[in-house]
Amino acid sequence: MQVQEEMVRRGNIRSGKGRKKRVYSSKYALSIIVYCGECGDIYRRVHWNNRGCKSIVWRCVSRLEGKGATCNSPTIKEEVLQQIVVDAINQTLSSKDDFLSTLQDNIDRVISEADHGATADIDVKLKELQNELLRLANGKADYEEVAEEIYSLRELKQNKLIANAEREGKRQRIDEMAQFLKEQPYELKEYDEQLVRMLVEKVTIYEGEISIEFKSGVEVDVEI
């Protein structure tokens, strides 16, 4: 389910001031999760040839696409960006007790926000209204107002179900992060695509600093 949600999310990415829809390559874990801290647009993986020196870099698309773009965001070599993500993950590992405490607080907050009984109350009200609708219809009376209330309640129920599902998904992501911290006995030595897909929600590049936001809600800032 989480994989499908991620595919939908990545397939509907809009970024930058014009909220342009962006496409991405599913081959790389960092695609469509790296953002510019200056203009808000995404960073794209680019094969760079600077005076004969070839390398792979990540660069804000507003600087790639538009002539005269005012964004002055830094261009980051891929190996540097990957190492910074590794450093951020290792920061959570080196202070795992503190981060585990934060994760538990996040779980408690998600649980407290859950609206467990809301849909049951709506179901009771819907049943009452449906009976009223049948009574009015059989009596050839006007039932438009009751029908509209039924439609509104059905929409409200759907929204609450979606909200609860999103909260449950967030709780699962927090659990995954906590499990990783508990089971990982040592710091990472190299970048791991699969691990980044599982843990990292967003990377924001600023001048002099990169912020890594984990899917659990934890954020780590690393100087460039």
pLDDT tens digits, one per residue of 61-75: 988 886 556 788 999
Tokens of 58: 């990540």
Highest mean pLDDT among 61-70, 79-88, 168-177: 79-88
* pLDDT per residue as tens digits for the range 15-53: 545 555 555 556 899 998 999 999 999 999 999 887 888
The whole-number pLDDT of residue 173 equals 87
pTM for the model:
0.70
* H or E, element range at 8: helix 2-11
CB count in 10 Å sphere of residue 70: 9
Across residues 118-141, what is the average pLDDT?
89
CA distance 58 to 85: 14
Domain definitions of the chain by residue range: 2-88+190-223
Q: Is the pLDDT of residue 115 over 70?
A: no
The beta-carbon contacts of 187-196 under 8 Å, at least 24 apart in sequence, are 187/90, 187/93, 187/94, 188/86, 188/89, 188/90, 188/93, 190/86, 191/82, 191/83, 191/85, 191/86, 193/28, 193/29, 194/29, 195/89, 196/29, 196/30, 196/85
- Cβ burial 127-144 (10 Å sphere, 16+ → b, else e): eebeeebeebeeeeeebe
Residues 6+ away with beta carbon under 8 Å from 192: none
CA distance 170 to 55: 37
Q: Is the pLDDT of residue 206 over 50?
A: yes
CB count in 10 Å sphere of residue 95: 14
Q: Kindly list the distances between the CA atom of residue 108 and the CA atoms of 27, 44, 111, 144, 167, in Å, as whole numbers in the listed order.
A: 35, 36, 5, 43, 11
Between 128 and 26, residue with greater pLDDT = 128
Q: Which of 99, 98, 90 is nearest to 186 (CA)?
A: 90
Between 114 and 128, residue with greater pLDDT = 128
Query: 144-183 and 118-138 are packed helices; what angle lies between their axes, rounded to 10 degrees?
Result: 160
Residues 6+ away with beta carbon under 8 Å from 208: 223, 224
